[in-house]
Structure 1
């Protein structure tokens, strides 16, 4: 008997990975370009500017060295981990053991996607922010771990109520993911909140995984803390950082995880079997970036704060009364009355060329919102705001 070939080479896991909206929006953009619309890419949070010239020079010089093309090692070079420890102590006042409490990553997405495989088993559960970044759910789908939504509501400042999670759920939860400053919400959290989160993790016997990729991208003088600033947090928490956004090094794929030794050892053991670590030239560039930040801090948030101010003011002047984000490179905006997230995002792109991401791509509680990325120059953002305003004034809502 011949087995039917249709679907024979597609795992059911693929269908559980969640939203394919990023690929779908790429299709919408192509259709807009095909009909002659100038597209403004406010959908993907990919920095539009290159790293500063000294970092480009550091990468160039490193890439010319003959010794950077060997397998780099999963844990990261001693020099890179030592510089991470120095930067972390300078930035957050937290001492880290470079040998056991720091692990290099190919960006935070690498760690977030693989950590569930390393620390949990099929049948376990995890708390995921809703709305939250899609890779959180994708990592659970691959690992066979149940996702339990952790509601983030505007009336609570998009901070979770841990007491709302029933005991029956806590009984099977292995870890929970938090993300402040938040993608897509741009919400922030202070040390008082993290103290509560660490207390909850210890009380419930779960690992707290904090995605801190936007730690250097906050506005109005706010400096986001690390969860590891809470005494005893390393007993129950790991934190992930990225150099992609903070230093515009997205293409080099470099980040790191810090904190709980056991969890990092498990992740290191998994990665030892599936990859060989981050390109040595990228790690050299990361060292240069962190060293420059230690000597003369220049938070990239100032650039995005200026863009935020221009874009929010222009949108309000055009008739869309959006909330002012507190951090990150994103604007989380309620769609006008009568629209669904997807219908608004698609119609806006089709009519004006301005690309956004529908809020429901980030979870059920994202319905009614869109995410816009501040990844264009200020004049482009001003022009996009005018296009959006004209669309809102003239378009009829469709579900």
Structure 2
């Protein structure tokens, strides 16, 4: 009775917990901690979306069980979004499924299609649900390093396929990427689709940050490649695009076979998101999109403030072209201590909380992730605190060998 449960035992220790515990203790002691750790949007949901929720919730008919696959109106809105944004036709009846956030969709699809021992190819570092959703389903993971960029991604993918036993059943791609903020063009996907078609491998794409971009080039969908649709499911979320993280609503689109498997699995484990939330999500996708541009510009201003502030502190970090994050390589004098100890030191000495890169995979351990989840003034204060910390330590000094308790 004292043995750990098998699936839980496979999960690694939650490295963010140490930073979170330190953050809680510091705040309890009255310290002003600037939290740039969790990617949790801090602004309210646009009023017209909230108003549609209130209107729907006042109708008692919406209080009953919903549909696990999603209400028809929302699936039609998803289809219209894909046509408008990517010029891709999605059948709302067979190629779209509403999920309780993209995270739930990925985890449930993993359960639906994975047998114990199946091999999954996953980028490293990556958003934790990408590897661990499949790990919980019994899969074996093979990691594709992406911390130095994606120029060799296809070559590495081809080698992984060639040397995996058994043959991989799926590969995960996610661009714009969390945490690395990497972006790709449509041409990047073409050889991946060709390779996966050749070997009979499914593609699972996550484009949760497709609308948070800053360089004027909207990120593509892999489904813009017609040959991809039979082997691909692409997940998206309203959390970041419309400031709706707590609403927990997202969707998957693509392969009829995979969407059918996801919908069938979900029919046994949930009744779908609360109907008024789905009605409001429909209003978000179908309604005015000015709010999306405003959110995009807000994150751009915060990005610029952070990049400029870190540069003034002597910490040069390339500006991301997309996402609500900045992926920063740890300054050289501190690099050997690893991302967890450096994050704890930054919290203790600069009162700034960030996410240690090791929490996203072993190849992330020389980086930390900043979330753009405070206003420009607070971000500038965070940079002043960091500058003071780096200057006090001489950009390293004794602090680089310090173990934070």
Q: Which residue, out of 148, 152, 155, partners 1:154? A: 148
Give the alignment partner of residue 165 of structure 1, picking from 160, 171, 194: 160
Residues 140-219 of structure 1: pairs in structure 2 closer than 5 A: 140-156=134-150, 159=153, 161=155, 162-169=157-164, 171-219=166-214
Shift of 1:44: 0.5
Q: Does 1:6 align with 2:2?
A: yes
User: What is the rounded CA distance, in whole Å, between the counterparts of 1:333 and 1:314 in structure 2?
Assistant: 13
C-alpha deviation, 1:389, in angstroms: 1.6
Q: 1:104-123 residue pairs with structure 2 within 5 A?
A: 104-123=98-117
1:160–1:43 Cα change, 3 Å? farther
Deviation at 1:299, TM superposition (A): 6.2
State TM-score, norm by structure 1.
0.94
- Alpha-carbon distance change, 238 to 156 in structure 1, aligned in 2, over 3 angstroms: closer
Distance in 2 (alpha carbons) for counterparts of 1:54 and 1:113? 31
The 5 A counterparts of 1:211-250 are 211-250=206-245
User: Quick check: 1:355 aligned with 2:353?
Assistant: yes
* Structure 1 residues 304 and 294, CA gap change in structure 2 (3 angstroms): closer
Q: Residue 334 of structure 1 corresponds to which residue in structure 2?
A: 329
Q: Determine if contact 2:242/2:291 at 8 Å carries over to the other structure.
A: no
Unaligned runs of 5+ in 1: none
Tell me the distance in 2 between the aligned counterparts of 1:297 and 1:156: 28
CA deviations on 1:52-102 (whole Å, 9 max, x unpaired) are 111111112111111111111111011110111111100110001000000
Q: Are 2:125 and 1:131 equivalent residues in the alignment?
A: yes
2:382 alignment partner in structure 1: 384
Task: Confirm or deny: 8 A CA contact 1:213 1:241 kept in the other structure.
Answer: yes
Aligned Cα root-mean-square deviation (Å): 1.7
Q: Distance in 2 between the 1:336 and 1:295 partners?
A: 38
Q: Quote the residue 1:372 is aligned against.
A: 370
Q: CA 1:384–1:110 in structure 2 vs 1: closer, same or farther (change >3 Å)?
A: same
Q: 1:62 aligns with which of 49, 56, 60?
A: 56
Q: Distance in 2 between matches of 1:336 and 1:271?
A: 45
Per the alignment, in what secondary structure is the counterpart of residue 169 of structure 2? strand
Q: Give the structure-2-normalised TM-score.
A: 0.93
- How far does residue 381 in structure 1 lie from its aligned partner after superposition? 0.5
> Match for 2:313 among 312, 318, 327?
318
Aligned partners of 2:215, 2:333: CA distance in 1, in Å? 33
Q: Deviations over 1:302-338 (max 9, x none)?
A: 2211111111011101211112111100110011124
Q: 1:266-306, CA deviations, whole angstroms, 9 ceiling, x for partnerless residues?
A: 11111111111111011111111111256996363222111
- SS state at 2:171 partner: strand
How far did residue 159 of structure 1 move? 4.7
Q: Size of the alignment, in residue pairs? A: 393
Distance of aligned partners of 1:155 and 1:122 in 2 relative to their CA distance in 1, 3 Å threshold = closer
